[in-house]
Structure 1
Amino acid sequence: MKLAAIIFLWIIHAAALIGIALGYEDFFLPKSPFTLVYLFFLMVFLFKIDSRIKLILFGVFMVVGIGVEWIGVHTGSLFGDYYYGKNFGPKIDGIPLLIGVNWAILTFITHVIARQFFKSAIAVITAGAALMVGLDFFLEQICDFSGFWHFENGAGWFNYVCWFIIAAVLHAISFKFKLKGNALISYHLYGVQLIFALGLWIIITI
């Protein structure tokens, strides 16, 4: 089951890239929320959200993600002036419900990846936050085309600073509670999103 789930993960992302390259972005991009739901499915059953503490942390990170995005969208004080588009799923007060899921998934998988290379709290927290910001950088290059979110004047440096600080706090909490999970699944979940964002960036710029 694990191998089949991972193969399907890469297939749907590769199919989307090929389809968009052929001009079928109006078909593939609105399906993005379903892809995120699939990522959540992999988190639950393969990464293993199988304890009370993991469930609580995931819920807390979801709420934090939605909260900071609400502040960001409605005040412009965290990430700049931006708003969410139509391809990130259902919204409440302008904030997609799935953005909280995305924050939680990214925190979990980047924390597990960081712990594969580092042991000290500072190193793990810094590396985990850097991985989140790194992926965000590539997503910012495709967000407007994809209909995910739209910046009024582009994503400035302050956007990444705020991302890093918030991510570091979430990783500090994760380290405190010794968050663990499936490293292989974490690599695939992170890698497929990074490669998709990079691939789409190349497609829309050539």
Structure 2
Amino acid sequence: MLDILKKNKVWLSVGIIWLFHISAVIGITLGNLNWFIEKTPINLGLSFFLFLFIYPINNLKKVTALLLFFVGGMFAEWLGVNYQILFGEYKYGHNFGPKLDGVPYLIGAYWALLTFITASILDFTTLPYRVKIIGAAGLMVILDFFMEKSAPTFHFWTFSGGMPTFENYWTWLLVGILFQVVLKLFNIKGNQVFSLNLYLAQLCFFVYFYFYD
């Protein structure tokens, strides 16, 4: 039994990810918004756990990169939330779990997670490495774009004035490029199947709710 689980751990993880996201889409559509959205920390925490399980983050180089992206993401968001320096004027809601000076710990983990999986999606192509870096950062921005419309409804975060300005997306791209460059310098590659499915599950979820209204 353990051998079967080890051999199929990627597809089992992919199945769990899609199950959670599809269940949330159905549940929210049927009117159970609060129940499902309050479980956001569980969903993101599970995705992060599966990410650690599949890659895995099992040596000093990978741990260092993960910590850099976590701390870098937290610091960028801290500047944004407290000083409106990077992403505009916004604040986080209550559905991202515990916070450090207004910034949820999960958002730091999410920056790290997105950096790794978007890089992995493009790493297995024959594109030039500069295109891979910009393309991976672009995938991060695309996901953020579709998240923004639902974020206030889901009590993730709220921008002053309702929606973010171009500054938010431009900064996301620049920070994403910086993180992707660091990842390339570390020469870390992940699992393409897992990364692609996790990204698509989240993208499909937020695209659906982008057009849901």
TM-score band w.r.t. shorter chain: over 0.9
Cα distance in 2, alignment partners of residues 74 and 37 from structure 1: 25
Q: CA, structure 1 residues 131+118, in 2 after alignment: closer, same or farther (shift >3 Å)?
A: farther
What are the superposed Cα offsets for residues 67-119 of structure 1, whole Å, 9 maximum, x if unpaired?
00000001112111100001011112111011100000000000111212244
Q: 1:25 aligns with which of 33, 37, 43?
A: 33
Q: How well do the aligned residues superpose, as a CA RMSD in angstroms? A: 1.1
What are the superposed Cα offsets for residues 113-139 of structure 1, whole Å, 9 maximum, x if unpaired?
121224433111111110100111011
| Identical amino acids, percent of aligned pairs | 38
Which AA in structure 1 matches 2:69?
A: F
Partner of 1:12: 20
Partner of 1:165: 174
Q: Which deviates more, 119-128 or 162-171? A: 119-128
Q: Which runs of 5+ in 1 are unaligned?
A: none
TM-score normalised by L of structure 1: 0.95
Cα distance in 2, alignment partners of residues 140 and 13 from structure 1: 18
Partner of 2:103: 95
Partner of 2:185: 176
Secondary structure of the equivalent of 1:88?
coil
Cα distance in 2, alignment partners of residues 165 and 118 from structure 1: 23
- Is 2:80–2:89's contact at 8 Å kept on the other side of the alignment? yes
Partner of 1:200: 209
Partner of 2:158: 150
Cα distance in 2, alignment partners of residues 47 and 9 from structure 1: 15
Partner of 1:187: 196
Cα distance in 1, alignment partners of residues 146 and 171 from structure 2: 16
Say how many residue pairs are matched.
204
Partner of 1:45: 53
- Is 1:111–1:128's contact at 8 Å kept on the other side of the alignment? yes
